[in-house]
Amino acid sequence: MRVYLLCLLILLFPTAAHAVIAKQEMRPGIPASAEYLIGERNKPAVLLLHGFLQTREFSTVATLARGLQDAGYTVLSPTLSLNIPNRAQSLACEAVHKHSLDDDVAEIGKWVNWLKSRGHRTIVLVGHSFGSLQLLSYLSLNPDPAVKAYIGASLIEAQIGATVRHALIAQLEGRIHDKQRSLITQTLSFCKKYTSTPEGLLSYVRWDQARVQAALKQSPVSTKLIMGDEDKTLERGWLKALQHMQVPMVIVSGANHFMDGSHEFDLLDHTLKSLQAIQQASSP
């Protein structure tokens, strides 16, 4: 009887049958969730990561996730916990931030393992904005062999405003060495006032443009960037610096940092083309 009812529900609500909310405990007392959109088994699975302090409901990644599923791809869209149990809302800049890049990377690894446990042996990492940076950080630390490629949209470094980076790093390292636990307020990414522990802040601040470029060069998997030429969030010269590296990249004319409006279709189209090329390259 239960099997009959389950089959009936699948027939009546086919979309719901292909979307699942997955949950895992990231650290003791810190559960987190991801939306699992089920696609065709012969296509790569996509792990899609949102930007800084956002969630999987952020419009850029939510729209992209639906478009990829419509094209037959399985998509896992986690919301990073940021050390908040069952986080479901974006985290305000003014909050006290007790998360670190190390925590983010560990959670990415757990979601990769979750996909593998569901039988996915070809996984592509796709990120937006700071999510692209976090995925690069994961790739720099012995990623799982099931991860075959990386696509970064609107890739950005950890911006710190007018602060001199090497001086800030030295200050943070000194506080950590002296075991000073007091919180620090600093510009980070789009936050003018970001309050964090010295350890947490340092983990992000270390990722300047040079380190991002090095991670791209040393990536153990194929990489592709999708950037907008009207992205005012980027530091001056960042696009040219990436072009000088000759990293595979598509520049979307007129697109801003969020690839919104009609450029949502450009982001989806270029992501699909990259996934198709990855699938063809991995076919026997």
Q: How many CB atoms lie within 10 A of CB 248?
A: 13
pLDDT at 281: 81
Burial class for 34, CB neighbours closer than 10 Å (0-12, 13-18, 19+): buried
Beta-carbon contacts of residue 232 (< 8 Å; ≥ 6 apart) = 256, 257
Name the pairing type of β-strands 184-188 and 45-49: unpaired
140 with 102: CB under 8 angstroms?
Answer: no
Domains of the chain: 13-157+209-282 (3.40.50.1820), 159-206 (no CATH)
Q: Tens-digit pLDDT profile for the chain (284 aa)?
A: 433 333 333 333 344 448 899 999 999 999 999 999 999 999 999 999 999 999 999 999 999 999 999 999 999 999 999 999 999 999 999 999 999 999 999 999 999 999 999 999 999 999 999 999 999 999 999 999 999 999 999 999 999 999 999 999 999 999 999 999 899 999 999 999 999 999 999 999 999 999 999 999 999 999 999 999 999 999 999 999 999 998 999 999 999 999 999 999 999 999 999 999 988 887 66
Short-list 190, 188, 252, 158, CA closest to 58:
190
Sheet of strand 222-228: strand arrangement: 19-27, 30-37, 74-78, 45-49, 123-128, 147-153, 222-228, 249-252
| pLDDT tens-digit map of 107-163 | 999 999 999 999 999 999 999 999 999 999 999 999 999 999 999 999 999 999 999
Q: How far apart are CA 226 and CA 251, in angstroms?
A: 6
pTM: 0.93
**DSSP letter assigned to residue 259:** -
CA geometry: angle 126, 21, 149, nearest 5 deg: 20
